[in-house]
Amino acid sequence: MEKIILLIPGIPLVIAFILIFVSKKEHIPKVSIMLSSMIALLGLYGTYYVITTDESIHGLGGLFVFNELSAILVPYVAILGLVIRKYATKYMWDEPGYKRFFILLNFIFSAIYMLVMSNNLVILALAWQLMSVSLYLLVSFNVASKSAVKNGSWTMLIHKGADLLFILAVILTYQTFGSVDLGHLSQTWLEMSKNPTDNPTIFVIGLLFLLAAMMKSAIVPFHIWLPYTSEAPTPVSALMHAGVVNVGGILLNKLAFLLLLTPAVLNIAFVIGLFTAIFASVLMLVVPDIKRSLGYSTAGQMGYMIMEVGLGAFSLAIYHLMVHGVFKATLFLESGGLIRYARHDPNIPQRLSYKLFWEEKTEHKSNKTFNLIALFTILPILIFIGVKMVLSEEFFEFNAAIVILAFGWLTGTQLFLSFFKVSRSDSIKVILALVSSFIIILFTYEFIGLALEHFIYGEHALLFYGAATLNVTMIMSMVALGAIMIIGWLFMYKQHFVGIPKNKMPKKTQWLFYKLLAKEAYVSDFFIKYIKIFKKG
């Protein structure tokens, strides 16, 4: 009976097929939503089954599996899909190609479910490619717009690259391990990790999979396709940022035991993820287009996700992609309304660059700055030490926890500062906000992260942290942590509380820095100049 759950990837295809024959426009969303609700219910039943019986559901010749990872991701995708479909019902009503939109939407959902539930590398490769082509057709949905089509071509080009690397990795995997069955491969990889050998082919396989994941998850330098898909319909953007772009993290989780054998790949993932998280987040602040800014924000979050994988916190990456997905989908669906509102009121939204350099504000001098910095850096470290005494020893044996917490704290602080709109005069509120954000981050990452880790990987979870250790000493970690906190705090402080430039002109260095960032570090210019493959199309 429970095997029926394995039919989930096929249901969207059935919906798409039925929609071809639906002639009345009013019936298209009804059919789509009604049958999609069935997927959500099946997904939830599957999750219930996996939790209560502690067993995975295998079937269809061993090609598909509904395991712990699917139990988390399938209901997430299905419920998110329902919201997006419901939103699209009215949002897309006046667009030409209403039926085409819903058919394509179902195709991409089918590819996502297939990817999540696949238990075979060939099926995974097919889902990986199906998603590329469905995404291309959705990004280029506004067929009459030249720029939408051109940006769709960029997307397709990078995704095709990811497809090739993926296929080459599958071939090498088959040649090295003699199987494409993921369940069997995972067992082999786990056994091999007990007696590690230095095999360059395994490193190449891991690297190819990582590169493929990076391309689809918009990690620098392959990020360029994501911010430029802003012409896609808003529901597509929501789906893309909440679902499609996360496939890199999903893939690396499915191949987690392979990465146990390639610590160097994990280290590469950490470094590139870290760079992407910082680079894309900074660009997000200066880009004036709201949807492109959200695009860079997603790229930054994906960097964060890959960084977590690089630290061995695989399950945390899943938690991150889900939380970020829900948050970003909401933002995108709301951005449509905000843009409409802004068109009626020219003062909203204000550009961040305007705020940073031009807006007149009352300058408020404070001689407590350094005291506050000291407080905000020393206090969290003291809390770390305090928590260390309470929590498990293993957790703090690995650098992963420290780096993740530091970044988590920065993210939380940013959120609180934005949320409360505190000013320099509200020092007490600032202190409370920063400290409370840090505590919340500790709770979230420690307890939810660990719970998810036990559910997905059980006793093997600590193996990943062991493999991902960067061999940085504890002291170095603490120094790095302190530096990150000071820089982060200063950055946020400067960002929120800027005085008036004396001559009402920005400083030259600041201006040059801003110009570099506003031009998106010239990466897109490079692509436009040197990759003109589709220009003559």
Partner 1 sequence: MLMSIILLILAAGVPYYLILEKNKKLNNEKIFLISSFLVFCAIVLSSFVDSQYSSLLVIISLLSAIFSVYKVTKTTNFYKFGYYLLFINAPFFMLFIREQGLLYSLSLLITLSGIYSIAKHYEKYYGSANYHGISGTTLATPYVGGFLTVYLITLALYPPFPNALFLLSSMIKEETTLLWYIVVVVLFFGNFMVAMRVMPKTVFGTPNSNLHYVDLTSKEKIMHFVIIIALLGLSIIGFKGTIA
Decide whether 165 or 213 has the Cβ nearer to partner 1. 165
Binding mask 49-88 for partner 1 (x = CB under 8 A): ------------x-x-------------------------
Neighbours of 108 (CB within 10 A): 24
Shortest Cβ distance from residue 172 to partner 1 (Å)?
A: 9
End-to-end Cα spacing for the chain = 51
Can you give 91-110 as a three-state secondary structure string? HCCCCCCHHHHHHHHHHHHH
Q: State which of positions 107-166 bind partner 1 (CB under 8 A).
A: 120, 122, 125-126, 129-130, 132-133, 137, 140, 143-144, 146, 149-150, 153, 156, 160, 164
Find the binder of partner 1 among 1, 382, 390, 533 (CB under 8 A).
533
x/- site string to partner 1, residues 204 to 243, per CB under 8 A?
----------------------------------------
Q: How far is the CB of 415 from partner 1 (least distance, A)?
A: 40
What distance in Å separates the CA atoms of residue 270 and residue 480, rounded to the nearest whole number? Answer: 15
Name the phi and psi angles at 181, rounded to 5: -80, 120
Other Cβ atoms within 10 Å of 535 Cβ, number? 9
Residues 6+ apart with CB under 8 A from 59: 3, 6, 65
Interaction of residue 170 with partner 1, rule CB under 8 A? yes
Instruction: Compare residues 100 and 429 and give the one whose CB is closer to partner 1.
Output: 100
Name residues whose C-beta falls within 8 Å of residue 528's C-beta, 6 or more positions apart in sequence: none
Number of residues that bind partner 1 (CB under 8 A): 35
At a CB cut-off of 8 Å and minimum separation 6, what does 253 contact?
Answer: 69, 309, 314, 315, 317, 318, 456
Q: Which is nearer to partner 1, 68 or 163 (CB)?
A: 163
- Phi, psi at 499, each rounded to 5°: -85, 175
Stretch of 174-182, 193-201, 285-293, 324-332 contacting partner 1, by CB under 8 A: 174-182
CB 264 within 8 A of CB 301: no
536 sits near partner 1 (criterion: CB under 8 A): yes
Backbone φ, ψ for residue 118 (5° rounding) = -70, 145
3-class state of residue 183 by DSSP: helix
Instruction: Using the minimum distance from each CB to partner 1, give the nearer residue, 112 or 180.
Output: 180
174 binds partner 1 (CB under 8 A): yes
With beta carbons less than 8 A apart as the criterion, state whether 232 and 154 touch.
no
Site residues, partner 1 (CB under 8 A): 61, 63, 96-97, 100, 120, 122, 125-126, 129-130, 132-133, 137, 140, 143-144, 146, 149-150, 153, 156, 160, 164, 167-168, 170-171, 174-175, 180, 533-534, 536-537
